[in-house]
Structure 1
Amino acid sequence: MALWKLKAEHPMQTTKSLVLSLTLPVFAGLAAMAHGQTGPEETVPGEATAEEAPQQDAAQSSEAGTDQQPDLEDLRRQILATGDAAALDRLAALAEGGDGRALGFMGDVYSRGGAVPVDMARALDYYGRAVESGNQGALVRLGELYRDGSLIPADPEKAFDYFSRAAEAENPWGILRLGEAYMRGTGTAQDVARGLEIIGGLGPALNGAALASLGDFYLRGGPVQADAAKAIDYHEQAAAAGSSSSLTRLGEVYRDGNGVPADPARALDYFQQAADLGNLTGLVRLGEAHVHGVGTDVDVARGIALIEEAAGQGNAGAMATLGDLYALGGAVPADGAKAVEWYERSVAAGNGWLLVRLGDTYRDGRLVEADPALAFAYYQRAAEAGQSSGIVRLGEAYVQGLGVPADVERGLSLIEETAASGNASAMATLGNLYSRGGAVAADPAKALDYYRQAAEAGHVGAMVNLGDLYRDGGAGTADPGQGVEYYRQAAEAGNVWGAIRLGEAYLYGQGVERDIARGIAEIERSAAAGNAPAVRALLSIHRDGRGSAIPRAPGKARDALERYGAFLPADERAREVLLLDTAAATDRTDFRAISEGLEALPASVRRDALAGMRGANANAYVYAVQDRLAQRGLYGGPLNGLLTGSTIRAINALCSQSGQASRCVRGPLHGETARLVSETLFPL
């Protein structure tokens, strides 16, 4: 029996009868659809993201004796790249005539995005008919869709069944996907040894795709221990066998210094080789290298042109990258409207994972004006596609009344059912709700339990929250030393907040012996890795100091901004520059310039900047508050930056107007008072 054959004792030894749904599932069944599928930021170790995976094209089947029509592939590429109506009509006619390859290609056209909008009802219909015609490649593609769950609800068991059927038909892509399913435990009991045996048995077949898959497993770890040397060896073998995806991956390894010394020039060469072979992700990485000067001089125009070239060929990842560039700013001017436009185009091209990010964008109002109703609509679309992250966000929207009348019971039900399916993010979200209180009554014991479940499932954010509970004594758990261990686990897993909290523990001697140099080093290590929150924390430490033990060091703060400022969005960089100028201000002339500079900042960061000014320079902060209180008619005294009695009375009046005067009881310069003052003076 071949390695990929199902063993008789396996509980899924017989192929189930599957019925393809021709329409997307109705909303009523959302909670039952969740199977713990993660978004692209939580890629399963060893699994390529949608843009880079060497996925099976449904028309590539292994059946012998099929008359080949060499122009079909050209038609498919033409349609995906340009949406050519005549080509689409021709391909559709061939499909309606019963051509199995054409049926599979029509499924690709409507599921892969590009010039033709994604239409999963049509795609599933075409794939179903392709399977009936004997196109085994369509089985593989259906398995991928149900495995990934970005366009239709994830169903790991159904994915495993499709891969099994394709493997039984000796389709090599089906064999590969079956091996990967065993590696990850997708829809079946995890069996790493069997998965490695199945994938390894393919050798250099499929232009090195099996070798590339093994390379990814050893690169990312998870089912197997991460081993950079093995990963590079497998990817080099795959590249020699024709895998352009492995060339891209090797470029990423040498760009990031993942297990090897970083080598930007070598990374650039790999990206160029991949792009020359037509790999669109390689073309995107080449563009990014030119934008950021990786292995070459910075050439933003050329870099953007390369990424746009990939986007023009329908590559959803390229569109998302352009969205990120315009969202972050820096290399190109920040432009929220352009960022959202590219994100929406990426979604239309099949990148369903961006639905949640678009929802967050309209929820937070950072790139564009906040629109709760539109945020809710994006979350609903993600949920209807079966994305667990979309279901969780939808539940939160119901709990908070975001864009929809509040329905706490319905919201909790959605999140709880998703958590019950094993989804760690849902568990962590429940921990947050019960920890913070509000619409859901605070319950520290429940929060602790949900955080523990999430942490045990590998959720690093929950590890940080557990660390906070143990540090602060929430739910009767005061144990700073245990808190440090949770922070350490999160930091070692690459979580920026874990690194920051670990650094702070050493800075203040919380649960460990105080070691200021080590604390700063922990935070700076995370900043150097490109984590914006760590950059902000590092700047704050040097700029504002931390009492007598850590004096202010504005020179170090400016050096840090010079080194790591590129990791901050453009609006945040502008805020940090203003805060550094605030720290250096010494007289009323300086204070006036700071107050005017505050008004010139992007609206998205004004309130944070004003609150941050309190720590950077209390007198400059008071001056800016006086200036705005005077504009509101609450203050009639001189603008001098001094905390006079009339200034205090004006601040108290503002607190009363806000309806949250209780937040100001600790005094006019307390951090909570400063946050309320900033929120009231600069409402979102």
Structure 2
Amino acid sequence: MRLWSTIAAVSVFALAVPVDAGASPPLCRTADHACLKGQLEHAATAGDIVAKIELARMLLNEPESGSNWGRAAGLLHQAARTGDAWSVSILASLYREGKGVPEDGRQVMKLLIPLAAKGSIGAVAGLGDLFASGATPIAPDPQRAARYFARAAAEGDVHSKYQLALMLLDGNGVRADIARAITLLEELNRSGDPWISIQLGEVYASGKSGPAERAIDYFAQAAETGNASAMVRLAQMYQTGIGTVGPDLQIAMDLLEQAAALGDMGGQVQLALVLLASGTSEDASQAIELLERAAETNQAWPATILAQLYAEGRQAPLDGARAVGLLQPFADQGVTVALTGLGGIYAKGAGIVPADPALARHYFEQAAGSGDLSAKNRLGFMLINGEGGTADVARGLRLLEPVMESGDTWAMLQLGDTYAQGTALPQNAERALHYYGRAAELGNAAGLSRIGMIYRNGLADVAPDLAQAQEYFERALAEEDATGRIQLALLLLEDGPAQDIARAEQLLAAAASEGDAWATTILADLLTRGEKVEADGARALALLQPLAEQGNAAALSGLGVLYARGAGTLEPDPAKAGAYFEQAAALNDYVAKSRLGMMLIAGEGVAVDPARGLALLREVAAIGDGWAKIQLGDVLSSGKNVPLDPQGALAAYQAARDAGLPAAAIKLGYLFLYGKGNIAPDPARAANHFADAAEADLSAGKVSLALLLLDGKGVEKNVDQAVDLLQEAAGHSDAWASGVLGGLYADGRNLKPDYRQARDFSQAAFNAGDQAAMLRFGMSLAIGPLAPDHRAEGIDYVTEAVAANIPGAVVELARLQSMGLMGSDGAVEAERNLLAEIEAGNPAALRLLLQVYRSGGPGLKASPRKARGLLEQHAALLTSPALAFETVALHSMAPATEASLSEIGAALSGIASADFPQAVQMMFWGNKNAYVYALQFGLRDVGLYSGPMSGYLTKQTISAINQACAQQQIEEICRRGPLTPEVAVSLGEYLATRPAPLRS
């Protein structure tokens, strides 16, 4: 960080401000860091601004940590309000880099712009840094950055000169001006900084300026300072020659030797390669020594080169064991070249390492799975020959399929389809492409469409390639293949750039005008859903109506969907939707039967008839459609308008899974996780089903399993495995996974808080469709472990969510207001906002306002009377457990009486177990008698207490508490006394899982 150079050593500070009457801290020796820090802490607490600045300086000179630097930032905030320029500059730098405070570009601007206006060159340069890299939520703005750097550079600021030079070289934010950039770098180069010299060398080596050979001068200048990187770059110049300077291998060798002697890994490897190329045994021995030293850096590059030499035994002694030892760590990490190298060693053996075809096959399998072509070739031959295991000729031929000739184009297409489907023959994309291609060469354009489909979706070892797919569909279209035209339209719609949407629509419209029913229903569906093209119900109706009149089931079903949801100016009409679904269902359209079945169960648009609706759903599920089975399971497990049938739901979900639908495993998992009716909760079985879905690469399965792993529910707690699963799912743009990861990195419960990770994953969740993701992120920044550094940014996110009408945002903003984070009258504003939400029927707003009335807040005194009246007026908004909790909370506010304790006892049994620990802690902090009373009730339920329900901490009560502590093995905590926060937390959690309900 540029500004850290301004942080001076901590000065002696020995103010003696009394802690309390008659007490004052002792004076310190100058070298006593701890004592000085204590003095500063003491004086800063007393409000001394100089002490705050000195303490912040001391904290920033300590190793970076969230607590130390966050504390420093807080002190700097206080000092900055006095106008102290040093405090302002350092604080701005902290906000820009997210060190000790949340990364917050707006705060940087707020701090630096006034300083810059007063002529501070450092502030001007700091603004340049802000706009060069950006800082949430300020996006990078190269043009503004360049302007600031230019201002500071004109005043002699070294950092700004360098940054401006880089921008001039690349034309980033300014018009490229190589000459001016070189002038600036030359000025900086007078200081002797080798990295400036290297930068100048790169300007000439890259051809941005000439003559090219000047690069040698600058690299040499840097190398003379002992910079190993410059030596390697200069050596590369002499290896190949540049400009008018020809190659000089001796100079290159000398330079590489110098870099290698300095321990530079790149220099060691480059020198080793040069030596190996010479072909002499002496040079080879020296190369091996160099590579051995380079391999000690645990880098794959030198290790794999060295392993190959030992395995071949030509330029190095044959040493298979050493080769294996070098490769194995990288193979364990999935490094493809290491996997292939190990496969080669075990395929034929190396020295004392015997050949092991099975192990070779294992490593080739792994490498081939990552797409390594050489491994695929090796594995293909091993499979064909049965080396290392059972022969698998079909799979071997998929990897190494020979050219086969055929003259019947439709037979080629059919055989290609068989290989593509992987049913009668093992799936083989290469063979499918071969036969499709041969058919296309012989004039059958359908072959082109089929090839396009393989490249569109990917198949076996052929990765998706949209450019290839579009090329083949275009060729099929040119040869008037109807399928090719529609597939091209679908490709453009789903994967093409935005400007291709219009062309896709034109292609479908042209096909529809020619009577293509498939194109007609596709286009009508697009117009109905309003995706990719503007919703236009009238046009969709015009497209479908003629087909529907001809009795086309898909068109009738499409009209049902159109009227079920409405589109554009066409309003929804459930009755018409039901009528069209009836017609389509009569023609055996299973989509229509499914939609009609759901409408009959709900009585939507048609007369309610759950029995018939359920029969239709069972009929659709019986044909083998996995999604229909899942839909049936959902209906049976819901019990809405149909008899609750958990076993029937279980059978439906299992049938869907047996039919090959991984999503059914998710349904099974949640059925067992929470239980339903006569199916008891079974987290272990739930975890097994989620693992099944995760293995099928289903993101929801990965997230669900990860959540169990985080809680240790049904499985052993494993945070690392959970994070891996979540990252895999997030990598597929899964909003849920990204949101969970954002929360993990923000809340600090399972992972060390990490602002950037939390922000990036939360943003990814938002981008993937989770509208509340940034609201949650904002709340975590405002009140979570990242709050010391990022609170202001968090409040901004919450405020933005309110403006965007994100559900729940008003309540969360009110929470921040009531906590005193948004002004001295925050609770007053929170009350106003919450009352409006309560009138709109929001139970979360009611519970928060009750809490505010109980505890008070900025500008609003606690008022049991208001709380009682609010609860009585709006109790209907709350569930029974929530009402019980709020009742206990209300009675815990006032001094304990026999009547209030009786009310608390009556309500305790209704509190949800998840809320019980919070209720106990609330009573602990608010009313110790109520707290003891709750413990007496709970301990009586578990058989540890038989005394009176008095609310007094009697010997019998303490004895019961000690027995509970012994059962929980927390005696050490309990020795601190029954009225400590730690005991309250532990006993609250213990009683929440008590075997019997609380009794009044």
Does the CA contact (< 8 Å) of 2:419 and 2:429 recur in 1? no
Query: Counterpart in 2 of 1:443?
Result: 754
Query: Counterpart in 2 of 1:472?
Result: 783
Instruction: Find the aligned partners of 1:205 and 1:355 in 2 and give their Cα distance.
Output: 44
Does the CA contact (< 8 Å) of 1:140 and 1:163 recur in 2? no
Question: Relative to 1, partners in 2 of residues 1:444 and 1:126: Cα closer, same or farther, differing over 3 Å?
Answer: same
1:678 equivalent to 2:996? Answer: no
Does the CA contact (< 8 Å) of 1:431 and 1:448 recur in 2? yes
Question: Relative to 1, partners in 2 of residues 1:179 and 1:620: Cα closer, same or farther, differing over 3 Å?
Answer: farther
Cα distance, 1:249 vs structure 2: 5.6
Which of the numbers 617, 626, 632 marks the counterpart of 1:316?
626
Cα distance, 1:300 vs structure 2: 1.9
Cα distance, 1:633 vs structure 2: 1.1
Which of the numbers 502, 508, 515 marks the counterpart of 1:199?
508
Does the CA contact (< 8 Å) of 2:601 and 2:613 recur in 1? yes
Does the CA contact (< 8 Å) of 1:398 and 1:411 recur in 2? yes
Describe the superposition over 1:182-228 as per-residue Cα deviations: whole angstroms up to 9, x where unpaired. Answer: 23326x7874344333334333567654454445545555645xx54
Letter in 1 for 2:665: L
What does 1:171-190 correspond to in 2, within 5 Å?
171-185=481-495
Cα distance, 1:463 vs structure 2: 2.1
Letter in 2 for 1:487: A
Cα distance, 1:304 vs structure 2: 1.0
Which of the numbers 593, 605, 612 marks the counterpart of 1:283?
593
Is the radius of gyration larger for structure 1 or structure 2?
2
Query: Counterpart in 1 of 2:771?
Result: 460
Which of the numbers 279, 304, 320 marks the counterpart of 2:614?
304
1:157 equivalent to 2:464? Answer: yes
Query: Counterpart in 2 of 1:293?
Result: 603
Instruction: Find the aligned partners of 1:622 and 1:120 in 2 and give their Cα distance.
Output: 73
Query: Counterpart in 2 of 1:241?
Result: 547
1:516 equivalent to 2:834? Answer: yes
Question: Relative to 1, partners in 2 of residues 1:442 and 1:613: Cα closer, same or farther, differing over 3 Å?
Answer: closer
Question: Relative to 1, partners in 2 of residues 1:99 and 1:437: Cα closer, same or farther, differing over 3 Å?
Answer: same
Question: Relative to 1, partners in 2 of residues 1:321 and 1:130: Cα closer, same or farther, differing over 3 Å?
Answer: farther
- Partner-residue secondary structure (3-state), 2:588: coil
Does the CA contact (< 8 Å) of 2:563 and 2:576 recur in 1? yes
Instruction: Find the aligned partners of 1:593 and 1:438 in 2 and give their Cα distance.
Output: 34
Query: Counterpart in 2 of 1:483?
Result: 797
What does 1:349-368 correspond to in 2, within 5 Å?
349-362=659-672, 368=679
Instruction: Flag structure 1 segments of 5+ consecutive residues without an equivalent.
Output: 1-24, 33-64, 68-97, 111-118, 493-497, 525-535, 562-575, 599-604
Cα distance, 1:290 vs structure 2: 1.6
Describe the superposition over 1:356-392 as per-residue Cα deviations: whole angstroms up to 9, x where unpaired. Answer: 4444555566785555665454445444444444455
Question: Relative to 1, partners in 2 of residues 1:106 and 1:471: Cα closer, same or farther, differing over 3 Å?
Answer: same
Query: Counterpart in 2 of 1:327?
Result: 637
Describe the superposition over 1:223-246 as per-residue Cα deviations: whole angstroms up to 9, x where unpaired. Answer: 45xx54x15632552354346556
Instruction: Find the aligned partners of 1:517 and 1:478 in 2 and give their Cα distance.
Output: 26
Cα distance, 1:469 vs structure 2: 2.5
Which of the numbers 722, 727, 739 marks the counterpart of 1:428?
739
Describe the superposition over 1:159-180 as per-residue Cα deviations: whole angstroms up to 9, x where unpaired. Answer: 7755764564345444334323
Query: Counterpart in 2 of 1:502?
Result: 810
Instruction: Find the aligned partners of 2:797 and 2:580 in 1 and give their Cα distance.
Output: 43
Does the CA contact (< 8 Å) of 1:431 and 1:447 recur in 2? yes
Instruction: Find the aligned partners of 2:908 and 2:409 in 1 and give their Cα distance.
Output: 75
Does the CA contact (< 8 Å) of 2:437 and 2:447 recur in 1? no
What does 1:132-143 correspond to in 2, within 5 Å?
none
Describe the superposition over 1:492-528 as per-residue Cα deviations: whole angstroms up to 9, x where unpaired. Answer: 6xxxxx412334535885779542354246775xxxx
Query: Counterpart in 1 of 2:655?
Result: 345
Letter in 2 for 1:607: S
Does the CA contact (< 8 Å) of 2:436 and 2:447 recur in 1? yes
Letter in 1 for 2:543: Q
Question: Relative to 1, partners in 2 of residues 1:440 and 1:157: Cα closer, same or farther, differing over 3 Å?
Answer: same
Instruction: Find the aligned partners of 1:588 and 1:138 in 2 and give their Cα distance.
Output: 82
Cα distance, 1:147 vs structure 2: 7.1
Cα distance, 1:413 vs structure 2: 4.8
Does the CA contact (< 8 Å) of 2:672 and 2:683 recur in 1? yes
Cα distance, 1:288 vs structure 2: 1.2
1:270 equivalent to 2:588? Answer: no
Question: Relative to 1, partners in 2 of residues 1:180 and 1:457: Cα closer, same or farther, differing over 3 Å?
Answer: same
Q: Normalising by the residue count of structure 1, what TM-score does the alignment of the two structures yield? A: 0.60
Letter in 2 for 1:196: E
Question: Relative to 1, partners in 2 of residues 1:154 and 1:127: Cα closer, same or farther, differing over 3 Å?
Answer: closer
Letter in 2 for 1:482: D
- Partner-residue secondary structure (3-state), 1:478: helix
Does the CA contact (< 8 Å) of 1:322 and 1:342 recur in 2? yes
What does 1:534-683 correspond to in 2, within 5 Å?
537=844, 548=866, 551-552=869-870, 558=876, 576=879, 607-608=913-914, 629-637=939-947, 643=951, 645=953, 654=964, 657-658=967-968, 677-681=991-995
Question: Relative to 1, partners in 2 of residues 1:122 and 1:445: Cα closer, same or farther, differing over 3 Å?
Answer: closer
Does the CA contact (< 8 Å) of 2:632 and 2:652 recur in 1? yes
1:169 equivalent to 2:476? Answer: yes
Cα distance, 1:441 vs structure 2: 3.0
Does the CA contact (< 8 Å) of 1:391 and 1:414 recur in 2? yes
Q: Percent identity at matched positions?
A: 25
Instruction: Flag structure 2 segments of 5+ consecutive residues without an equivalent.
Output: 1-363, 372-407, 855-865, 889-898
Question: Relative to 1, partners in 2 of residues 1:404 and 1:515: Cα closer, same or farther, differing over 3 Å?
Answer: closer
